[in-house]
Amino acid sequence: MVDESHFPTPRVTHAQVLRLAGPIVLSNISTPLLGIADMVVIGRIPNPAALGAIALGGTIFNFVYWGFGFLRMGTTGLTAQAVGAGDAPEVSANLGRALLIALAIGLSLIALQWPIGLAAFALLKGSPDVQTMAHDFFAIRIWSAPFTLANFAILGWFIGRQKANVALVLQVFMNGINIVLNVTFVAVLGWAVKGVALGTVIAEIAATGLGLFLAARNLKSVGWHWEWPRLLDREKLGRMIAVNRDIMIRTFCLIFAFAFFTSQGARSGDVLLAANAVLGQFIAVSAFLLDAFGFAAEALVGQAVGARERATLDQAVRLSALWAGGVAFALSVGLLVAGPFFIDMLTTSSEVREAARLYLPWAAAAPFAAVWCFLLDGIFIGATRSGEMRNAMALSLGIFLGAWWLLAGPYGNHGLWAALILFYLARGATLLRLYPAIAKAATRDPAVTYR
């Protein structure tokens, strides 16, 4: 008999939202700090090609692994629903299924590393030195694929259990080990780019080991039973794969939109490309902060859907929106006021500084324009309505491309930024339009929940 007292009661408060979002903010911030640390370590090498190789190799893996980020999101929604329903065996099984999918995809990436590398390096050009070192980086880093994807699944499972503090521990542990190893391998042993790649692989393996240990200990408290018939249940496994497939399609649409934005900026010349890149850093940091409220919504909404509690669902959405909107407004105002100072910190070029100041209002508007789609993404992931997410993203991508086509010609880079803001707003609007019907169905009809 399962002791359901280990599952939280479906009730949402301001404190609960902050307890979930706070650790995730800190966890998200640790990721860009790792990138900065890598740049500092590699930057001490006299050969500038080493820095370019890290940037090139990092771009490849960011694209590949971001595309498989559905493992984190899909696992969160399904696990949160099982928590809300008080179904401990299904809570356990969701982790097992996600790990099986992560293992299968990770091993496939290793097996297909030659064609993946061939395609990636054909698209991303560099000098002969950069290409050589980037190939070395790729050849080592690809072996972390199963562990990277397993970490996605483990993080998603803990967030679905509303244990964001454990997710924080895992991320800080992994990034901390990575920084120590990179300093040791590069600054002490002189292994350069290969040292950075090896340090990342070892850190991913260590984080997976710690994550599995913490998950096993946590599962024992609720009656851990991993049975192959349940793990391989065709209906449940098919539902997880379908949810993850839709999120993957949605994610690749998102990747394409930002890649298109960057490529169009590059056509406007080096100064505008650099200015957009500087302003893009502001948007990236804002996204790391605001995504935390989307993560919190995933867990809270999923729990409410699993318990089929409409009042709890509405309260989760209301409080998450209140905090997310407030933080986004503060970020937008802060960027508008302090943006010139941060621009001067990131570049010494007078031309780039002038251009970045000109387009700063667009970047400052981005957090408040984007927060609603971040939040609604979390709500729909928690409700496991991935098909609607996929369709809304495809429509929003079409709106973005249409806006660019209409605005970029007469308004140049201003038109490109306007199209990006419209893309954020379209993502939010298309999901918001569907929310009332989905909220009603998800908390009433068990056929649309995890069951």
Q: What is the 3-state secondary structure (H, E, C) of 67-131?
A: HCCHHHHHHHHHHHHHHHCCCHHHHHHHHHHHHHHHHHHHHHHHHCHHHHHHHHHHHCCCCHHHH
Res 5: pLDDT: 41
Over the stretch 177-192, which tens digit does the pLDDT of each residue have?
988 998 898 878 888 8
In a domain, 1, yes or no: no
Tokens (6 digits) for 274 = 């650099």
Q: Which of 232, 253, 275 is the last residue of a domain?
A: 232
Do 25 and 117 fall into the same domain? yes
- Packing angle between helix 70-84 and helix 270-307, nearest 10 degrees? 20
Burial of 342 (0-12, 13-18, 19+ CB in 10 A): middle
- Does some domain include residue 238? no
The pLDDT, as a whole number, for residue 331 is 94
The reply to whether 401 and 435 lie within a common domain is: yes
Q: What's the pLDDT score for residue 252?
A: 84
Q: Is 142 within a domain?
A: yes
Q: C-alpha distances in angstroms, 209 versus 91, 100, 154, 215, 218?
A: 20, 15, 10, 10, 14
Is there a single domain that holds both residue 70 and residue 153? yes
Whether residue 283 sits in one domain with residue 194: no
Whole-number percent of the chain with pLDDT over 90: 31
Of 232, 264, 286, which residue constitutes the final position of a domain? 232
Of 232, 266, 301, which residue sits at a domain end? Answer: 232
pLDDT at 276: 82
Judge if 276 and 381 occupy the same domain.
yes
pLDDT value for 206: 95
> Is 323 domain-assigned?
yes
Residues 429 and 315 in one domain: yes
Looking at the domain assignment, is residue 141 inside a domain?
Answer: yes
- Domain shared by 212 and 256, yes or no: no
Do 55 and 122 reside in the same domain of the chain? Answer: yes
CB atoms within 10 A of CB 153: 28
Residue 237, in any domain of the structure: no
Q: Is residue 122 part of a domain?
A: yes
319 and 396 part of one domain:
yes
What distance in Å separates the CA atoms of residue 187 and residue 140, rounded to the nearest whole number?
19
Please tell me the distance from the alpha carbon of residue 335 to that of residue 293, in angstroms, as a whole number.
Answer: 20
The ranges of the chain with pLDDT < 70 are 1-11, 27-40, 42-49, 51-52, 55-56, 124-127, 222-225, 266, 442-451
Domain count, the chain: 2
Confidence (pLDDT) at 395:
96
Question: Residue 334's domain spans which residues?
Answer: 243-451
251 shares a domain with 208: no
Residues 355 and 378 in one domain: yes
**Which pLDDT does position 224 carry in this prediction?**
65
Q: Do residues 350 and 220 share a domain?
A: no
CA dihedral 263, 268, 272, 274 (to 10 degrees): 40
Q: Quick check: is 377 in a domain?
A: yes
pLDDT at 241: 81
Give tens-digit pLDDT for 186-219.
878 888 888 888 998 999 999 999 999 999 888 8
